[in-house]
Structures are given as structure tokens and as C-alpha cells.
Structure 1
Amino acid sequence: MSLYNPNRVNPQRPKRIALVIANPATSSSTGWPVGFWWSEVTHPYYVLTEAGYEVTFFSPDGGACVADALSDPNDASGYSRHDLISQGFLHTPELLARIANTTPVQDLVSADYDALLVAGGQAPMFNFANAHALQQQFAAFHAAGKVVAALCHGVALLAFTQTTTGEYLASGKTITGFSNQEEDQADQAAWHYGWLPSGQSIMPWRIETRLQEIGANFVHAGAWQSYAVRDGNLITGQQNFSGEATARLMIEALGR
């Protein structure tokens, strides 16, 4: 049941968003446990719920989802210590309980939702290739004219999502996502801190390269800049600093 929100235009039928989080995985390139990225869930959640939308959490397999450690503002690395929105989410037990019990994507009834948003993290690079129900839902939402969005490594989904005619949904579309420049810098940081041997890549493949290969017009705003782009009812966000920008384009597309 939703709490009262004075920003809601139509409290009898608020817009509803299905927010998909990656299930835990193990990196085939590093052996690390990988998952979703906190700010790519919490920042869109904050913007969308402040606008009066209802957000339900899904994952390809359902059940508990686990975040990448560096995305936790309380992680010893201090990498995300500035992320006060995620800190607030992490200190709200009822929200954490929803992350611990996500609904399987196969149970998503598209008629009940106005938009579908796929968050990123490292896990999508390893388990979205086999997330067939999610690929089908994303394509079906898009074909129905509903708003679909993907953020950061969640854009990996578009490397596999096809239309009913067998074409890649991303072909001919202008999109963004985690760029090759950012992958290079992430690898260099891993080498600098001794997390990986020099020359070894964190990711087994790259979103920018793969999507260009299937005919997408891939754009970005430079490394680590907040950036999102809309092509019709398809919205994509560049990386973990682009959650708010992605959500605001969704609001623009959906209307209040």
C-alpha cells in the first residue's frame, strides 16, 4: 500500500514503474561476486517516488539481490561515501526488505505498469544474456509504446534484446551506457590498487563496442558525467552518476 504523496496528480491511479535489479552473479573474468549498484536503484527510486509514482522491485529470478560492495556508502573503500540518497535507503528497513524479496520478472503483468526501468551494476554483464524473460518483457513494453529505460551496465540487456521480427531493439537507436572510456579507467584503477593484474579487464566484453556492432548510435558525455538520452520511448543512462537524469527523462516521457 502506498503512502500519501502530496505531489501525486492522480492518487487513484498513480503511474507505476517496474524497477528491475540484477540477481547476484560471479564474474567470469575476475571471480568476484557481483550484483547491482546501489545508486542506480536508489536515485531513480527517490526521483520517481518524489514525483508521486509507485515503484515495484523485480529481478530476473526473484528473491534477494545483493549490491556491488563499492556502491555501498558504508564500504571501507569509501568510494560511495558521498551517496547520501543510498545511505538513507539503507537505513530504511522496509525498503531493504523489498530488495531482499524481489518479484520474478516472469510474474510482471505489463498491463499493471506504465514503464520498465533496468538498473545496472556488474552482474548484468554476466547474467543478462540468459535473462530471456526480462528481454521479452523489455521488448514487449517497448512495442506497446510504454516507456523502457536502462542504466549503466543495465544497458547490457540491449545487446541481447530482440523484437518479434528478430531484429535487435537497439539497432538504429541513439543510446548511451557505460562507455569504453569508463571501462578503460575502471581497469586502470583495478591495476593501480592491485585488485587485478595489469592488463586484465574487469569486464569480459564492452557495451559501447557490442551495441555499435549491432547498429546502435552510441553516444556519451565523457567519463563519469551525468547523462541520459531519450530515443522515442527508449531511455538510457550512461553510468552510476546518471540515475537522476534517467528518471527525469522517464518523468518527461510519462508525464505527471
Structure 2
Amino acid sequence: MSIKNPNRVSDAKPRRIAIVIANPGVSTTTGWPVGFWWSELTHPYFAFTERGYEVEVFSPEGGRCEGDALSDPRDPSGYSASDLVSMGFISTPALAALVEDAPAVEAIDVSHFDAIVVAGGQAPMFAYEHAEHLHRVFVEFYEAGKVAACLCHGVALLNFARLSNGELLVKGKTVTGFANVEEDFADDAVWAMNALPRGSHLMPWRIEDALKAQGANFIQAGLWKSFAVRDGNLITGQQNFSGAETARLVIDALGG
């Protein structure tokens, strides 16, 4: 399902973007429910639709998706209470419905879209190793010369996505993603809650370490800084504060 912008000023064929959000899962480290991160869907969605782009939302398996609790502006923790973009999205029935029954990524017709954007959240770290349809579709976009973007823990897919020649897509590329300094911060937070034993980790592996081991040039802008980087038609964003910046690079790559 897509929402068209009736205020589009140009009658030219609009750009079309496929945004992928994670299906619900369970953390193997904490036992907590995990999902996608709201701002990594809503901020790019807002940026794209403001440009008159048409956006469709998918998930690896299809079906109902759920945001990570801390990413929901209504959560009692107040962690994302200032995220008015996400609050507006959630409060708009036609938009909220996009996550209630998302089509599966295998339904994506790459020829129909100009770019794919894979949002993060905690669930990708536990599920994207086996999300083979997502790997294939992401590589199809990349090898077709279309924009292939991912951000935060959605960058986890680059640890597994291989080109048609068998090479890892990320090898030799300059990328960013959820950085070790941010994983350290998250670990400290769960230790302070006594949710995990001190010295253990919230995530089962780390994106920065894994992508460096795969031959990527991993860069980051520091703790919780909005940051994204483009290497050809591959775009990556650092974390949940980087949705708008990631979208900006996608828009630039598509010619505005």
C-alpha cells in the first residue's frame, strides 16, 4: 500500500521508494520483544513524501510489524517523546495502517522502484542473517544501479548480502551503521538496569566489527550524531538520529 501526495507540484512520473521495516522478533540476549525503530521509518517517509515521492512499506516476512518500545513516542519511558514526526505518523490512520499488514519483500518488483531503504531497530540483529529474500532484493537494486540504502541496525544485512559473483556487497565500500561507541552506550544502559550481567552485550554481534572484518571502510561521526555516507549507489546511515540525513542522500542520488 502506498500513500500518494495530492499536493505534488509536478505531473512528471514520481520517484518510487520501497522502505523495508523488520518483523517482530525476540532478543536472544534479553528475551525482550524487538522490532523496527519508528523514526527510521517515519523520518525518511516524511522526507520522501514531502518531495512528492511515492513510498511503499514492506517487511521481510510480511504481516504486522511492531516498533521497538523505546522508539514509540507514547512509551512511558519518554525516550522518544520529542519525536513529533513519528507521533504524527502513528496518529494518522492511513499511515499507521502501513505497518499493520506490510507486504513481504519478495513481492517487490525492482523495476517499479527507484530506491530501497532498509530501516533498523533491534530485530535486524537477530533476524537478518536469514532474511535471504531481503538480501536478494537489496542486491538486485544495487546491481541494477538503483539506490540501495540502509541505516542503523538495518545495516546488519550488509554482513550477509552477496553480489551475483559471490563477493560480499560491502567489501571495499565506505559505510556507516550503528557504531561500537553506541553499542557501548546501550550496554552500559542495560547493565545499569540490571537487565544483563555486566560484561555481556545487548546485541549478539556488532556491525562495526563485522563490516570491518568483511573489508569495508567503516566510518562514524561519534555518539548519537546524525550521519550518513554515500559510496556510489550504496547509502548507509549511522543510527536512529540519521533517518533524515539518509533520506537526503537518497534524494540527492536520485537527482532531487
**TM-score normalised by L of structure 2:** 0.97
Deviations 1:86-115, CA, capped at 9 Å, x for gaps: 010110011111110101111110110000
Distance 1:231 1:204 in 2: 27
Q: How many residues align?
A: 254
Distance 2:152 2:164 in 1: 25
- Classify the secondary structure of the residue corresponding to 1:220: coil
2:91 match: 91
2:224 match: 224
Unaligned 5+ segments in structure 1 are none
**Segments ≥4 residues shifted beyond 4 Å:** none
Considering only aligned residues, what root-mean-square deviation do their CA atoms show, in Å? 1.0
Distance 1:99 1:255 in 2: 28
2:116 match: 116
Structure 1 residues 1-256: aligned runs within 5 Å: 2-6=4-8, 8-9=9-10, 11-256=11-256
Distance 1:230 1:142 in 2: 13
- Classify the secondary structure of the residue corresponding to 1:236: strand
Distance 1:5 1:18 in 2: 20
Q: Which amino acid aligns with 2:59?
A: S
Unaligned 5+ segments in structure 2 are none
Displacement, 1:12? Answer: 4.5
Q: Percent identity?
A: 58
Displacement, 1:13? Answer: 1.4
Displacement, 1:191? Answer: 1.0
Displacement, 1:26? Answer: 0.8
Deviations 1:225-249, CA, capped at 9 Å, x for gaps: 0000000000000000000000000
Distance 1:142 1:33 in 2: 31
Distance 1:244 1:29 in 2: 30
